[in-house]
Amino acid sequence: MRIIAGTWRGTALAALGKGDAGAQLRPTSDRVRESLFSMLTHLGVIDDARVLDLFAGTGALAFEALSRGASDAVLVENGRVAQKLIAENLAKLRAKDLVHVQRQDATKLSAWAGTPFDLVFLDPPYGRDMGQKALMAAQKGGWLAQGATIVWEEAAPMQPPLGFILDDHRKYGDTHVTVLEYTGRSPEI
């Protein structure tokens, strides 16, 4: 894996190979990331964005956004293998001032006291309903800015939950990318 464009263009990220099934890590291919970031650039949502990367894995999606002009990022990851890879990538890119790593379960986010995030990457383990839980936790905890763009990778197309609208859906092999916009409306309790 490598950074495709921007400040860190061409920089190789920590080696993961084809993934780590035991740690539930599967890298987003360069082809999918290139298409995804082309779409996000066209939408104009990267420049100066505050990025939240849920189930961050290696952090490749957040690092790509930072390379292309995002202002800062929070990576949420509870896996030890992934945390090690993120640390390697932080050192390689010298990005410690731009990135904060939250070592916690993305489905159990507590309240966020900082500025909400404009661009959210959601790449949970496929087929386990963890993406929906993480998105609801982020919504409930105040992590999402009104109008935030959510990029959700899964094995199937995802339907927008209450408080979100569908912006786009793309399929790349067995990966479905659903792009949502957060409307700022919370679900009724």
Count of CB atoms situated within 10 Å of the CB of 83 = 17
20 burial type by CB count under 10 A (0-12 exposed, 13-18 middle, 19+ buried)? middle
- What's the confidence (pLDDT) of residue 128? 83
Rounded to two decimals, the pTM is 0.91
Look-up: residue for tokens 């800015």? Answer: 145
Burial 38-52 (b: 16+ CB within 10 A, else e): ebbeeeebbeebbbb
Which domains are delineated in the chain?
Answer: 34-182 (3.40.50.150)
Q: In what order do the strands lie in the sheet with 144-154?
A: 99-102, 72-76, 50-54, 117-122, 144-154, 175-182, 164-172
Q: What residue type is assigned to position 93 of the chain?
A: L
Q: What are phi and psi of 148, to 5 degrees?
A: -60, 145
- What's the confidence (pLDDT) of residue 2? 87
In the chain the beta strands, taken as DSSP E runs, fall at 50-54, 72-76, 99-102, 117-122, 144-154, 164-172, 175-182
- What's the confidence (pLDDT) of residue 127? 77
Sign of CA dihedral 101, 108, 137, 161: positive
- What's the confidence (pLDDT) of residue 31? 80
pLDDT in tens, the chain (189 residues): 889 999 999 999 987 655 455 555 666 777 888 889 999 999 999 999 999 999 999 999 999 999 999 999 999 999 888 999 999 999 999 999 999 999 999 999 999 999 999 999 999 988 788 999 999 999 999 999 999 999 999 989 999 999 999 999 999 888 899 999 999 865 554
Q: What is the pLDDT of residues 86-107, one digit of tens each?
A: 999 999 999 999 999 999 999 9
Contacts of 51 (CB under 8 A, 6+ apart): 62, 65, 66, 70, 72, 73, 74, 117, 118, 119, 120, 121
